[in-house]
Structure 1
């Protein structure tokens, strides 16, 4: 991603937090980047493309962190599972200050649902593999329970405070 395109995606993130996807305009993004609206079209075709690039960046970083946690050979299964969940939860925290989180985090959303669904599937696979290697009975169910916990925390006002102890208790019980 070029430096200028990265600035466009950064500006799109700021607009998401302030206005949400629906209320953001290309003028809003252009103003935040310091580009004219016509120059902005050099980097993205429309605001949908800008938001898809943002979703790809956010989910990509989260999946990369989850894969790194899952690959750590020097940790226990519990630490790996918690690392995967932390990567997923960090994604939620990146958007927590905005009431518009659902517009980018919903697998049913028209604009970015496919990106969210693919990332969620990858988190599920990583968790399933972790639970499988640890000998957990019904590892796929254990992964789905963990992901359901994450979805619940996405709407909790005390999410940052409660996530870690809840995830620790859940993972310890599932292992």
Structure 2
């Protein structure tokens, strides 16, 4: 998949969309680009600001290999639930390698409930600082969920770069 895969965000919903890099300066440029569009200084558009790494059509050879091995299927996402065609499962000829089948794992084993409020954070219902566990029992050293485990997760980034309460 390349940057063009996200063009639908602007085309279908008439909202700004940006592909950005991960460095602070790149993220800042992406935010400024979005703000210029939101505030009317630029027309609503899709922008790829990360062209050095993300081409319009993506890596065709990698896509070929991905399509050979994987297929889209319904996926259960922790805290969100079942999302149609949101996960990758192995194609039939690779099913013997699927740990879920090989070890007869059920969804209950794979997705245990916890006090983690990552689902509300991912869905934009809560900000990281609104989670009762944030910075207390849930830290980068003792994460309770995916938002804190990954260094790119919303909670981890908020913990590392500041606890500014936006919108208050």
Which one has more relative contact order, counting CA pairs under 8 Å at least 6 apart? 1
Fold conserved (TM > 0.5)?
no
Q: Which has the higher strand share?
A: 2
- TM-score w.r.t. the length of structure 2 is 0.24
Q: Which has the larger radius of gyration?
A: 2
Q: Which has the higher helix share?
A: 1
- TM-score w.r.t. the length of structure 1 is 0.24
